[in-house]
Structure 1
């Protein structure tokens, strides 16, 4: 998966802001690595840079509140400038929210920000793909048909590329109504013959193409002409908006 950066704001069911990183450093994580809450993993699927998605996150009982995690910390053991309401991180890596500061001691709550929260609405915006997959183009493997004109061969390959791109967008969460029917139902006879045989295992093993992690549009090279084929922009333009 790609390394991505997102900005987010979460809202409680009454519409109040629960947490946000707008105005600070974007959250960075590798998709599929389970480094972050699942809401972020699902939230970025199918998004293009600059797009925002709202997603509901059910966190009931995920982080029960534990009174034992509210602790008194000597001020000398904390970062400078500690004040009420500030989130701090100790040298041990523990993160907590300062509840109060008095008499050189601070009361710090190390419970999760999601403790005892039932449902949150997240607005997740993809701001950057840090490490896009830049894979070489696929190679079109097919016997040369002497009865096939070059124009027919080009249409044949373009049909396959469009079909694979339609699958890629579908798997990555693009809404079905934005993926043209012709992309998933090829209209060229020889293209149909090939795509009917393409199973997920064949794509992964024979073409080294895992559509679950494929982040960039499909490209395919014809070894006969050395031409690179990409998805038809007139067919897929709407899917990238």
Structure 2
């Protein structure tokens, strides 16, 4: 039985939960996730931990925050004057926004607080600082 190794294209079913048991993502009801191992297409910790698994094998894999979306960085939380936002924007806590950086790149922001004068936005990934638990089943090694 062949085992997953770097360079293989694999297909997995997965359910991702936080340490409190709340689910943040799942492939249930969808096609399995397909990716090339070692290519950086998925978070590093999961990519590393599927190596050595075989088709039909299921496992619970814990990925520490440092190997997932990294630690939370409080310098990525900014307070912006509400007047700097387009007036037609309907803002509430949890609203996702896109901002353009000075070099023309795009950055995802989440509104975490707002007042009549200010909007507090967070550029951290929503799962930053979280250890992630994946229930994984290897469906196929496409070119293994």
With the length of structure 2 as denominator, give the TM-score of the two structures. Answer: 0.56
Counterpart of 1:98?
111
Counterpart of 2:76?
69
Counterpart of 1:177?
none
Counterpart of 1:36?
42
Structure with the higher helix share, 1 or 2? 1
Structure 1 residues 8, 16: CA separation in 2 closer, same or farther (over 3 Å shift)?
A: closer
1:86, 1:97 within 8 Å by CA — same for their partners in 2? yes
Equivalent position SS for 1:40: helix
Verify: 1:85 aligned to 2:89, yes or no.
no
Q: How does 1:106-125 map to 2 (within 5 A)?
A: 106-117=119-130, 119-125=131-137
2:46, 2:61 within 8 Å by CA — same for their partners in 1? no
1:21, 1:27 within 8 Å by CA — same for their partners in 2? no
The number of residue pairs the alignment matches comes to: 126
In 1, the alpha carbon distance for the partners of 2:125 and 2:33 equals: 17
Give ranges in structure 2 of 5+ residues lacking alignment: 1-6
In 2, the alpha carbon distance for the partners of 1:127 and 1:72 equals: 45
2:93, 2:114 within 8 Å by CA — same for their partners in 1? yes
Q: How does 1:1-241 map to 2 (within 5 A)?
A: 1-4=7-10, 6=12, 7-12=14-19, 14-17=20-23, 19-22=24-27, 28-45=34-51, 46-48=53-55, 52-59=58-65, 63-72=70-79, 74-76=84-86, 83-91=92-100, 92-101=105-114, 103=116, 106-117=119-130, 119-126=131-138, 132-133=142-143, 215=144
List per-residue Cα deviations over 1:111-152 (Å, max 9, x = no partner): 2334443x43222345676xx33xxxxxxxxxxxxxxxxxxx
| C-alpha displacement of 1:72 | 3.9
In 2, the alpha carbon distance for the partners of 1:26 and 1:104 equals: 45
Higher relative contact order, structure no. (Cα contacts within 8 Å, ≥ 6 residues apart): 2
Structure 1 residues 15, 8: CA separation in 2 closer, same or farther (over 3 Å shift)?
A: closer
In 2, the alpha carbon distance for the partners of 1:86 and 1:60 equals: 26
Equivalent position SS for 2:86: helix
Structure 1 residues 107, 48: CA separation in 2 closer, same or farther (over 3 Å shift)?
A: farther
